[in-house]
Structure 1
Amino acid sequence: MGRWEPNARQRLEKAALDLFTERGYDLTTVAEIAERAGLTKRTFFRYFADKREVLFGGQEELTRLFSEGIAGAPAGATPLEAIGRALDAVAGIFTGERLAQARARQPVVAANSELLERELLKRTKMVQAMHDALAARGVSEPTARVAAELGCLAFGTAFHRWVEAGNRREFGALAVEALSELRTATAALG
């Protein structure tokens, strides 16, 4: 595969995930990722700040979709209905083509404390994006914060169910189900 061939970002992501799975995250270098992808280290750094970010690409798109989904909810929508719209908006990026990559990514992240910390930062940014979008709709505190946290919890629950071995359901259906379960659980709190 030549350096000039398209899809450099995807090639780097695949090479990194393959190497992380084969050798472990800590034992894999940027140079090895670039070499496996048929690219240079310099090209790697055009796409990613460091090897950790290979596993967290697309975060900006995700937070944008959460915000747009909430903003696009009907004027009379409740905060959780707006969160449901946000989950619908992000469901489109969790396609069957991404499922194998997501399933391979999870054990790599789970096995490394640095990656788990980065995952928590990603979660914090998602909650903040949903909170800010709800606040822009006029949702007051602490309702906006609670709804955003529930939205992130529904997202995480749906994602973990989606990547489970043997799962055949689409992310969108799992997200609707998770949000519904959380609605029921919060109502039971009294």
Structure 2
Amino acid sequence: MIVKEPFIFPHWNYFLCLEDDVIRLSRWVEFSQRNLDCYSIEIARLLMSVSAEVDVVARLLCKNLNPASKADTIGKYQQEISASFPTIPKALASIPRHGIELYPWSEWVAARTPPKWWSATNKVKHHRESHFHQATLENLLDAMGGLLVLLTLYYRKEVHRLMPLSQLFIPKAFLINMGDNHVRFIDRA
């Protein structure tokens, strides 16, 4: 018997694990416009887990773009990632099954502006007693979309090898670095 060890994409595998939890959540909370403000302990747990992975992947992406990078905050990630991918605020992820389109990095059109879901995560994490209501379905879905976009950029040279594909989220249009800071949209839907 010959067993070939496949190349492992650890952050993609973690995304799929988080996505599985989000899919299970959809059995209890319908992903619809009416429920976007819904919040719960489970949504808070997932939001904090997803945002923590965004932090990890954003740091790795910055290191890939600039090996000397010392980026360690959302503001510094924004500076470095936006410099290489200036159209990231237009990056689109969708959840076709529920008719949802996400622009998770849209706040990055303004300098030093964190995404709404990132700010909500920090408020829920540090001031849960007064901001628990910000652990919403909308913030969770945007955070997942944000993670998907970062993973697409991080694995951009290997994106075609990410298997299995996401069951819920589709990066309809996302950014690919073409070298020399030339960026184009590519549609994978």
TM-score range, shorter chain: 0.3 to 0.5
User: Normalising by the residue count of structure 1, what TM-score does the alignment of the two structures yield?
Assistant: 0.33
More strand by proportion, 1 or 2? Answer: 2
More helix by proportion, 1 or 2? Answer: 1
The structure with the largest alpha-carbon Rg is 1
Q: Which has the higher contact order (CA 8 A, sep 6+)?
A: 2
User: Normalising by the residue count of structure 2, what TM-score does the alignment of the two structures yield?
Assistant: 0.33
